[in-house]
Chain A
Amino acid sequence: MTNVKPIVLRKGRGSMRLLIAASLTIVLIAAIAQTAAGSYNMSWREAWNALTDAGVWRHPAVLLRFLLGEAFARAHGFAEMQPLDTTTLIVWNVRLPRVLTALMVGINLAFSGSIFQAVTRNELASPYLLGVSSGAGLAILVVLVLYPALGPLIPLAAMAGGTLAFLIVYAIAWNRGTSPVRLVLGGVIVGAIAGSLQTGIFFLARDISVMQNALAWTVGSLTGADWRQVRMILPWTIITVVLGLSASRNLDVLLLGEANARALGMAVERNRFLLAAVAIMAAGSSVAVAGLVGFVGLIVPHVVRSLVGSAHRRLLVGCLFAGPALMTSADAFARLIASPVQIPVGIVTGLLGGVFFLYLMRQRREIGKP
């Protein structure tokens, strides 16, 4: 009776290993490409040397100074900055934090999409299609343009906006339960309204730089991302990953349907609400640092699920690697394809997402049937 077990498990583990190995390779290549290329060009070897510079890694104070910021370091009397190579400074000050931000945005969006798909029992769900990203983006623009003094609260504003948008979408879609199509339609409605309001707010901006900044936001861009963005998203990423993984069994049980979940003793409404809150937190914090990057939360869970199955422990672990792979490679592509001009990464993921959506529709004919 146990002789069947290893075979089946090996298959699952094998594709998981393959997924992780492929994802890590993509992340590594994207990271080196991102650190080497740019207006200050360096060879891949130089980039690698800068990334592994002993001057940084041997001195925790230097490392923490990058991570926690100059102001924090000064306030807590860190050791003085060591003199570092120019390449090291460029890599560590400008290029590495952008890669790290992309990585965490990838994790957050993939987790958010996976959780939304389980909570709404809807394979089309993702923070972007459910209007959560748009709501978060609108809240950010309001803060950015109308109350710039509240800048540090941007992630929280994004989460509040995302929550409001999700509640409205659910209310629109609700008709004694929801269907995938009604939820997506609700998302389209809220997305359209939030989009119009976003554009409207542009006209209230007094400063042209604020407006440019805001414009990049609405397409989703990592241009100019530095350690501040890393610090902004890192805590939320950690919370998302910990909560997401520890809730994986609950997500699995939700997939058995509301009645069965209740029969198994789950407080279904409370669980749904809390899990949606985690998904909104993940999406809101990535919108706060990268703007409205679309479709990552749709594509990644689908691809990972087709490789490792729908059990959430495996699915989320897969997303932990595949999310960063998609996001870092898309951002490297966006930054380097038309160099010196940088395309916002949201345009790349939008193109990918459109094609992927088409593929989903042709592949699964039952999608969209009531």
Chain B
Amino acid sequence: MSELTPQNPGLDGERLELRYDERYPPVIDGQSLQILPGKITALIGANGSGKSTLLKALARQLQPESGRVILDGHDIATLAPRRLAQKLGILFQEHIAPGDLTVEELIYHGRYPHRGLFESLTPEDHAAVEDALRMSGLEAIRHRPMNQLSGGQRQLAWIAMALAQSPAYLLLDEPTTFLDPAHQFDVMDLILRLNRERGKTIVLVVHDLNLAARYADYLFALHSGRIVAFGPPARVLTVDILREVFEVETEIVRDHGERGFFCIPISRARPK
């Protein structure tokens, strides 16, 4: 049954054990998780809890020590690199690109997995790039070199590149971390529209609990390499879970309308 592609969509990690170095204990210790298709899922946790590591493994950027990742019914270890890149895109926290690369040139690189070595650009490639430019609102500055963009615009350009890749799954590692509040909204609103309008399955690592509360459909809370809670924000963001996950005392404010839901850290939690 595991061979059926369309019937069982989804991105699952099965008993994943992840580590960077054999000399150290695993960063993720035998955890399983299910990413629901068509939803926005956020991974939250303190620094070093293993959330970025888990994200990398889901995108095959890190080979699991044991366990496997199943993408739409296929073990991702068996997928050809281009095939995987057509289905799943991942965006990292920090980027390096030649400064003179223009926004448009960068976005065209998103078409890499769809093109053979000697193939020239097809109408489909152009359409995907135009669509990515439109969605991200970068049309007006498409010919501007990357080193003349603000941090927020640069992040939007990278998301647009991943969008041109036209993957069904888009994984993002702390996409808003270095941005001011206005640009955080730009980026998160783009991510939200990718999910609602294009049906992309989104997995993101976020630090900001309030962003997670506001945008994610589901949360996974990680603490030292283990998933300690899963569910919709209202179920995961509780005083008890946050004390365990972040070791802080928080106050939860729930009376700000439908999306209004705030976690206010009060103090460091006392050790038990």
A, B co-complexed: yes
A residues sitting closer than 8 Å to B (CB atoms) are 1, 4-5, 8, 246-247, 249-250, 252-253, 255-257, 259-260, 262-267, 309-311
B81 close to A257 (CB less than 8 A): no
CA distance A174 to B13 in the complex (A): 32
Q: Counting chain B CB atoms within 10 Å of each CB, which of A8, A247, A250 scores highest?
A: A8
Q: In the assembled complex, which residues on chain A have CB atoms less than 8 Å from the CB atom of B182?
A: none
CA distance A170 to B270 in the complex (A): 50
CA distance A206 to B158 in the complex (A): 63
| 25 residue pairs from A and B, CB less than 8 Å apart | A4-B142, A5-B143, A8-B143, A246-B118, A256-B95, A256-B96, A256-B97, A256-B109, A257-B96, A259-B61, A260-B92, A262-B81, A263-B85, A263-B90, A263-B91, A264-B165, A265-B83, A265-B84, A265-B85, A309-B98, A309-B100, A310-B98, A310-B100, A310-B101, A311-B105
Q: In the assembled complex, which residues on chain B have CB atoms less than 8 Å from the CB atom of A250?
A: 117
CA distance A311 to B81 in the complex (A): 23
B208 within 8 A of A: no
Q: In the assembled complex, which residues on chain A have CB atoms less than 8 Å from the CB atom of B86?
A: 265
Q: In the assembled complex, which residues on chain B have CB atoms less than 8 Å from the CB atom of A265?
A: 81-86, 112-113
Q: In the assembled complex, which residues on chain B have CB atoms less than 8 Å from the CB atom of A264?
A: 85, 109-110, 112-113, 165
Residue-wise, chain B 161-186 has the 8 Å CB interface mask toward A (1 for contact) of 01001000000000000000000000
Q: A246-B117, A262-B61, A311-B105 are in contact. Are A255 and B112 (CB under 8 A)?
A: no
Q: In the assembled complex, which residues on chain A have CB atoms less than 8 Å from the CB atom of B240?
A: none
Dominant SS among interface residues on chain A: loop
Give A9's nearest chain B residue, CB to CB. Answer: B143
Residue-wise, chain B 50-67 has the 8 Å CB interface mask toward A (1 for contact) of 000000000101000000
CA distance A262 to B112 in the complex (A): 11
CA distance A5 to B104 in the complex (A): 10
CA distance A255 to B61 in the complex (A): 17
B113 close to A257 (CB less than 8 A): no
A311 close to B101 (CB less than 8 A): yes
Q: In the assembled complex, which residues on chain A have CB atoms less than 8 Å from the CB atom of B105?
A: 311
CA distance A222 to B95 in the complex (A): 44
A263 CB contact (under 8 Å) in B61, B98, B118:
B61
B102 within 8 A of A: yes
9 more A-B residue pairs beyond the given contacts A265-B81, A266-B81, with a C-beta to C-beta distance below 8 A: A1-B142, A8-B102, A252-B109, A256-B97, A257-B96, A260-B92, A263-B89, A263-B90, A264-B85
Q: In the assembled complex, which residues on chain A have CB atoms less than 8 Å from the CB atom of B98?
A: 255, 309-311
B residues sitting closer than 8 Å to A (CB atoms) are 59, 61, 81-86, 89-92, 95-98, 100-102, 105, 109-110, 112-113, 115, 117-118, 139-140, 142-143, 162, 165
Q: What's the least CB distance linking A179 to chain B, in Å?
A: 14
A253 close to B109 (CB less than 8 A): yes
CA distance A249 to B61 in the complex (A): 22
Q: In the assembled complex, which residues on chain B have CB atoms less than 8 Å from the CB atom of A247?
A: 117
Q: Which 7 A-B pairs have the closest CB atoms?
A: A265-B85, A265-B113, A265-B82, A310-B98, A264-B112, A8-B143, A265-B81
Q: In the assembled complex, which residues on chain A have CB atoms less than 8 Å from the CB atom of B143?
A: 4-5, 8
Q: In the assembled complex, which residues on chain A have CB atoms less than 8 Å from the CB atom of B96?
A: 256-257
Give B20's nearest chain A residue, CB to CB. Answer: A176
Q: In the assembled complex, which residues on chain A have CB atoms less than 8 Å from the CB atom of B89?
A: 263
CA distance A114 to B173 in the complex (A): 32
Q: What's the least CB distance linking A119 to chain B, in Å?
A: 15
Q: In the assembled complex, which residues on chain B have CB atoms less than 8 Å from the CB atom of A5?
A: 143
CA distance A161 to B91 in the complex (A): 40
Q: In the assembled complex, which residues on chain A have CB atoms less than 8 Å from the CB atom of B85?
A: 263-265
Q: Counting chain B CB atoms within 10 Å of each CB, which of A247, A252, A260, A309 scores highest?
A: A260
CA distance A249 to B120 in the complex (A): 11
Q: In the assembled complex, which residues on chain A have CB atoms less than 8 Å from the CB atom of B142?
A: 1, 4
Q: What's the least CB distance linking B184 to chain A, in Å?
A: 22
CA distance A309 to B110 in the complex (A): 20
A1 close to B139 (CB less than 8 A): yes
CA distance A266 to B109 in the complex (A): 11
Q: What's the least CB distance linking A200 to chain B, in Å?
A: 41
Q: Counting chain B CB atoms within 10 Å of each CB, which of A249, A264, A309, A311 scores highest?
A: A264
Give B158's nearest chain A residue, CB to CB. Answer: A260
B81 CB contact (under 8 Å) in A4, A8, A267:
A267
